[in-house]
Amino acid sequence: MTTEPITHRRVLVIAVPIVLSNATIPILGAVDTAVVGQLGTAAPIGAVGLGAIVLTSIYWVFGFLRMGTTGLVAQARGAGDAAETGALLMRALMIATAAGLVFVAAQTLVFAGAFRLAPASPEVEALARDYLVIRIWGAPATIAIYALTGWLIAMERTRGVLALQLVMNGVNIVLDLWFVLGLGWGVPGVAAATLIAECSGLVLGLWLCRAAFAGDQWRAWSRIFDRAKMRTMASVNGDILVRSVILQASFTSFLFLGAGLGDITLAANQVLLQFLAITAYALDGFAFAAEAVVGQALGARRRGDLRRGAILTSQWAFGGAALLTLALFGFGPALIDLMATSPDVRAEARAYLPWMTVAPIVGVGAWMLDGVFIGATRTRELRNAMIVSVAIYAVSLPILLPTFGNHGLWAALMVLNLARTVTLAVRYPQLEATADA
């Protein structure tokens, strides 16, 4: 049973590597685009972008494996059950392997469905298929990395998460340059570089999680296939999946409704949403820290530690949100000019920048409570709160959008985040009480 006190230093040791790791994520996509951009035509850029979106959409579904693994392993660690932390990782890896192999086997159907939903020119589609038939072989590795990352976060080994991200991105970038610019492999070269990086990440991730395979705990099949524990894991992961799909649907509706307001407004919203993504990435580290310390406190049945963990991680997150708000207030117009060259898009984005300026403060409560509830594996409450919040968002749209246009659309997004905060906050006392059970 872990007895390490919950301090500001402990929170930062968990959170900062995650923030740095997330900061590297946009770099890889930029390098991929820049490398194929040297080929001199538009089709390779479109093919790599389309192929990456198809696979990212597939893999995104398995985000539940990261979150569910973190909460369950943190609680097992808090309870001092080292054998269960290893068994949980094995269960997650088996799910990842099975899912990845299904996608490999069904790749023809998967790609046909993807191109039906997102049709492209014959040249782009042909190149995208070349990309996908190589990268799909990395599906088991990529999905497994979700599980490995979740285990590392739960064990508070987030420097390992940062190392994993840096190595994968580094391998990918070096091989991109060699395969595409050096060997002239074109789009298949980009795919091969990513595939090798994903497999390298799997090997490194397994090594970083080697403590889970110490002794015979990783092959204690009676424990691994314990029906009650498997049902618990399935329930947790299922709830998180439903919650995530509903949340993604709400963001998708925001984009679609924005598209109906004209091309300039759509482009302006897209620029501002990049700021929102950066904000979420920056504050994720504190939400992940909450998952780890809250999960461990609950597993150890330490109500005071649970409350302190929730408070300390949230204090840092709110401080970070305030700094981001100030940064967007001061540098937002310059950042808009950097991301868009059209005078009309720049002017439109500036008109709605105030919404983005307050977004970190409005959203941070929801993001942190997500982390608290995931760490406590109170995923049914998380799912139900999301259903209620999205229903409130859906009701607000026909009221705000016709009256206020794009301002109304942004206001509805703020309503969604406020509703997420309130619906989880009212459930928090019950969560805290479970530490005494």
Q: Model confidence over 336-383: pLDDT tens digits?
A: 887 777 888 889 989 999 999 999 999 999 999 999 999 999 999 999
pLDDT for 216? 73
- The contacts of residue 279 (CB under 8 Å, 6+ apart) are 321, 324, 359, 360, 363
Count the alpha carbons within 13 Å of 360 in the hemisphere toward its beta carbon. Answer: 27
Crossing angle between the packed helical segments 63-78 and 82-105, to the nearest 10 degrees: 170
Say what percent of the chain tops pLDDT 90: 61
| Cβ burial, residue 205 (10 Å; 0-12/13-18/19+) | buried
**What is the residue-wise DSSP string for 268-281?**
HHHHHHHHHHHHHH
Task: Identify which of 192, 353, 187 has the alpha carbon closest to the alpha carbon of residue 269.
Answer: 353
Report the alpha-carbon distance of residue 58 to residue 296 in Å, rounded: 31
pLDDT for 58? 83
In this structure, are residues 306 and 432 in contact, taking their beta carbons and an 8 Å threshold? yes
- The contacts of residue 5 (CB under 8 Å, 6+ apart) are none
One domain for residues 260 and 197: no
Report the alpha-carbon distance of residue 358 to residue 342 in Å, rounded: 25
Q: What is the pTM of this model?
A: 0.91
Across residues 70-93, what is the average pLDDT?
Answer: 93
- Integer CA distances (angstroms), 262 to 4, 255, 266, in order: 55, 11, 6
Band (pLDDT 50/70/90 cuts) for residue 56 is confident
Band (pLDDT 50/70/90 cuts) for residue 436 is confident
In this structure, are residues 423 and 397 in contact, taking their beta carbons and an 8 Å threshold? no
**Domain membership of residue 354 as a residue range:** 227-437
Band (pLDDT 50/70/90 cuts) for residue 118 is low
One domain for residues 208 and 284: no
pLDDT for 105? 94
Across residues 108-128, what is the average pLDDT?
Answer: 81
One domain for residues 258 and 163: no
- Which of 183, 200, 225 is the C-terminal boundary of a domain? 225
One domain for residues 387 and 238: yes
pLDDT for 248? 84
Per-residue pLDDT at 112 exceeds 80? yes
Report the alpha-carbon distance of residue 199 to residue 415 in Å, rounded: 41
pLDDT for 293? 95
| Cβ burial, residue 229 (10 Å; 0-12/13-18/19+) | middle
Place of tokens 């204690």: 220
Report the alpha-carbon distance of residue 193 to residue 177 in Å, rounded: 9
Band (pLDDT 50/70/90 cuts) for residue 149 is very high
Per-residue pLDDT at 308 exceeds 70? yes
Per-residue pLDDT at 26 exceeds 70? no
For residues 380-399, one letter each, b for 16 or more C-beta atoms within 10 angstroms of the residue's C-beta and e for the rest, the string is: ebbbbbbeebbebbeebbee
Band (pLDDT 50/70/90 cuts) for residue 218 is low
In this structure, are residues 36 and 176 in contact, taking their beta carbons and an 8 Å threshold? no
Task: Identify which of 235, 306, 318 has the alpha carbon closest to the alpha carbon of residue 279.
Answer: 318
Task: Identify which of 123, 131, 122, 126 has the alpha carbon closest to the alpha carbon of residue 54.
Answer: 131
Per-residue pLDDT at 227 exceeds 60? yes
One domain for residues 296 and 390: yes
Task: Identify which of 370, 367, 372, 361 has the alpha carbon closest to the alpha carbon of residue 308.
Answer: 372
Beta strand segments in 129-281, E:
none
Band (pLDDT 50/70/90 cuts) for residue 335 is confident
Per-residue pLDDT at 103 exceeds 60? yes
pLDDT for 228? 92
One domain for residues 204 and 235: no
Across residues 193-205, what is the average pLDDT?
Answer: 95
Note the Cα 277 to chain centre separation in Å. 10
One domain for residues 175 and 265: no
**Domain tally for the chain?**
2
pLDDT for 340? 75
Residue with the larger pLDDT of the pair 262 and 386:
386
Band (pLDDT 50/70/90 cuts) for residue 402 is very high
Band (pLDDT 50/70/90 cuts) for residue 51 is confident
Per-residue pLDDT at 288 exceeds 60? yes
pLDDT for 186? 87
Range in 253-262, 413-422, 425-434 the model is least confident about: 253-262
pLDDT for 315? 96
Per-residue pLDDT at 327 exceeds 90? yes
Per-residue pLDDT at 164 exceeds 60? yes
Average per-residue pLDDT in the chain? 89
Residue with the larger pLDDT of the pair 157 and 26:
157
One domain for residues 169 and 31: yes
Task: Identify which of 321, 287, 310 has the alpha carbon closest to the alpha carbon of residue 427.
Answer: 310
**What is the residue-wise DSSP string for 286-301?**
HHHHHHHHHHHHHHTT
Report the alpha-carbon distance of residue 333 to residue 349 in Å, rounded: 8
Count other C-beta atoms under 10 Å from residue 130's C-beta: 18
Count other C-beta atoms under 10 Å from residue 105's C-beta: 11
| Cβ burial, residue 252 (10 Å; 0-12/13-18/19+) | exposed
One domain for residues 329 and 379: yes
One domain for residues 207 and 95: yes
Q: What is the pLDDT of residues 370-380, one digit of tens each?
A: 999 999 999 99
Task: Identify which of 138, 131, 142, 107 has the alpha carbon closest to the alpha carbon of residue 180.
Answer: 131
One domain for residues 209 and 271: no
One domain for residues 332 and 380: yes
Band (pLDDT 50/70/90 cuts) for residue 394 is very high
- Which of 202, 225, 248 is the C-terminal boundary of a domain? 225
- The contacts of residue 204 (CB under 8 Å, 6+ apart) are 163, 164, 167, 168
Phi, psi torsion values for 427, nearest 5 degrees: -90, -10
pLDDT for 179? 92
Give the single-character DSSP code of 41. S
In this structure, are residues 292 and 14 in contact, taking their beta carbons and an 8 Å threshold? yes
pLDDT for 220? 80
Say what percent of the chain tops pLDDT 70: 96
In this structure, are residues 85 and 155 in contact, taking their beta carbons and an 8 Å threshold? yes
In this structure, are residues 130 and 187 in contact, taking their beta carbons and an 8 Å threshold? yes
Across residues 253-279, what is the average pLDDT?
Answer: 83
- Which of 195, 225, 255 is the C-terminal boundary of a domain? 225
